[in-house]
Structure 1
Amino acid sequence: MSARRPVVGGNFKCNGDFAFIKTHTEVLKTIPKNNVEVYVAPSAIHLKTLADNLKGTHIEVAAQNVYYEKPGAWTGELNVEMLLDCGLKTVIIGHSERRRIMGETNEQSAKKAARAISLGMTVAFCIGETLEERNAGKVDEVNFAQLEALRAVLKEADWKNVIIAYEPVWSIGTGVVASPEQAQEVHASIRKWLGEKVSKAVADATRIQYGGSVNAANCAALGKCPDIDGFLVGGASLKPEFVQIVTTLGDVKK
């Protein structure tokens, strides 16, 4: 098996209240401490509460977004320093909802990642194509353009702080899951791109998560793919099912 440590992230998106955070903390605490790295990303208003609740456990709390500027007059934004002040080490950047709905460009996503990495954070950098782009045969073109923006602002040594999350937009929240064959094909293409554009060492070491309607029923088949190093889970991360996903991946990747 790969020497890359499996990693599962849970993206709560814009869901939950403080009562949910309290009860779901107890669910998260039942996740076994195995060979899988685990992080969960609640809404910004719940970051500190969940971080405090999970203090002393093996589960990290991550942010769903961050701004690319230093502290200043950026109304409504959170900067990297604020995340660090909450004790956070990881941030999700470039999720398709940020790109497609909020209008975030490839370059803006890359700038956010570069600033977070420069201050020592790990970035889960999301990429992915729409159904129209897939049907037009542009899967690699779209994903590589998103990665190229990141490559342009990073040094080779910075990639140790990057997790790539491949999330086909057509599969996020739809219940439609890429087949293991489809997912593996794209993950392999991403790893090949890393080897050609960055270095073989980076390609071998970089973890690539799959995201898009991952659940307890399909995670084992996906996890058996050699270039899938884990998952970025959406809706299922809000349920006890998340525990089963982490446990199953740990068993598959032993």
Structure 2
Amino acid sequence: MRQKIVAGNWKMNNDKAETKALIKGIKKSIKKLPLKNTRVIISPSYVSLSSAVKKAKNTNIEVASQNMHQAKNGAYTGEVSADMLKSIGVKTVIIGHSERREYFGETDELLAEKIDAVLANGLEAIFCFGEKLEERKKEDHLLEVGSQLKNALFHLKATDFKNIILAYEPVWAIGTGETASPEQAQEMHAFVRNIIGKKFSKEVADSVSILYGGSVKPANAEEIFSKPDVDGGLIGGAALKAEDFAAIIKAI
């Protein structure tokens, strides 16, 4: 059975005190929720990762990094390595978020290197992909997503997918208030599962969790999560409020 996952990407929000308060609120809000087959992941900023790991200890909450450099070490000012993340207890890394692609010029080729580094260091990747509005309007969305997956992931071995979570982000639905319809989300998730199956195996395709990311809120989460190929969500703004995040987790 595929794992259900709700991951909160906090982006560049929350200082140390706010991080502490939000984790406390999430712990309280999900305390009585049945989480037997559901993983809960939060992704604070770099400066709060260490304290977040400590605050989440002995809870159902896991902590992920929002990014990671592909090199082991060196003259890469402002970057963070796998060893640094592992040294504070972080085991999961978000790779290829649309904002990293858009604002920091991360290419498929670079992301392939980052994925390799994540896996080589025994970490888990949440790999993000998705089309822009113009690609959706031209009906090139399947072609674009297929290209992103092939360029960044298709050099891997089938066994690598035990440490990969996929996250579909329609770029036009991130922070805009727009949301892909449940049918649009299902279409893309089914497409992704199909091409993973063709390249690797049906077993790999059936076992990999595919999350939806794009303006998921308590009001629409249940309908989106009800689709057979949607295994959870990568949550942005709604993850910054404990009650909303807990409501989305409950919806799964």
Same fold (TM > 0.5): yes
> How far apart in 1 are the matches of 2:116 and 2:60?
26
Question: Deviation above 3 Å: which 4+ runs of structure 1?
Answer: none
Matched, 1:37 2:35: no
Residue ranges of structure 2 left out of the alignment (5+ in a row): none
Q: Which secondary structure does the structure 1 equivalent of 2:218 belong to?
A: coil
**Residues 168-187 of structure 1, C-alpha deviations (whole Å, 9 max, x = no match):** 00000011010000100000
Question: Deviation of residue 74 (structure 1)?
Answer: 1.2
Does 2:184 correspond to 1:186?
Answer: no
What is the aligned partner in structure 2 of residue 252 from structure 1? none
> 1:33: Cα distance to partner?
5.0
**Residues 1:244 and 2:247 aligned together:** yes
AA partner of residue 213 (structure 1): S
Report the CA distance between 1:152 and its aligned residue.
3.7
Contact 1:33 1:58 in 2 (8 A): no
1:96 maps onto 2:94 in alignment: no
Provide the rounded CA distance (Å) in 1 between the counterparts of 2:160 and 2:15.
35
CA contact (8 A) 1:175 1:213 kept: yes
Q: CA deviation at 1:153?
A: 3.5
Identity of aligned residues (%): 47
CA gap 1:153/1:81 in 2 versus in 1, 3 angstroms? farther
Instruction: Show the counterpart of 1:111.
Output: 113
> Could you tell me how far 1:18 is from its partner in structure 2?
1.3
Q: Over aligned residue pairs, what C-alpha RMSD do you find?
A: 1.0
Q: Residue 136 of structure 1: CA displacement? A: 1.0
Give the counterpart of 1:127 among 126, 129, 137: 129
Report the secondary structure of 1:9's partner residue: strand
Out of 71, 74, 77, which is 1:72 matched to?
74
Q: Is the partner of 1:196 in helix, strand or coil? A: helix
Matched residues in 2 for 1:22 and 1:59: separation? 13
What is the alpha-carbon distance in structure 2 between the residues aligned to residue 101 and residue 151 of structure 1?
22
Give 1:150 deviation, angstroms.
2.4
What 5-or-longer segments of structure 1 have no aligned partner? Answer: 250-254
Cα distance in structure 1, aligned partners of 2:240 and 2:52: 13
8 A contact 1:9–1:40 mirrored in 2: yes
Q: Return the letter of the residue paired with 1:79.
A: S
- The AA in structure 2 aligned to 1:69 is A
**Residues 1:158 and 2:152 are matched in the alignment:** no
Cα separation, 2, equivalents of 1:226 and 1:164: 15
Q: Cα distance, 1:151 vs. partner?
A: 2.5
C-alpha distance in structure 2 between counterparts of 1:17 and 1:77, whole Å: 19
Residue in structure 2 matched with residue 23 of structure 1 by the alignment: 21
Residue matched to 1:139: 141
Q: Contact 1:170/1:176 (CA < 8 Å) preserved in 2?
A: yes
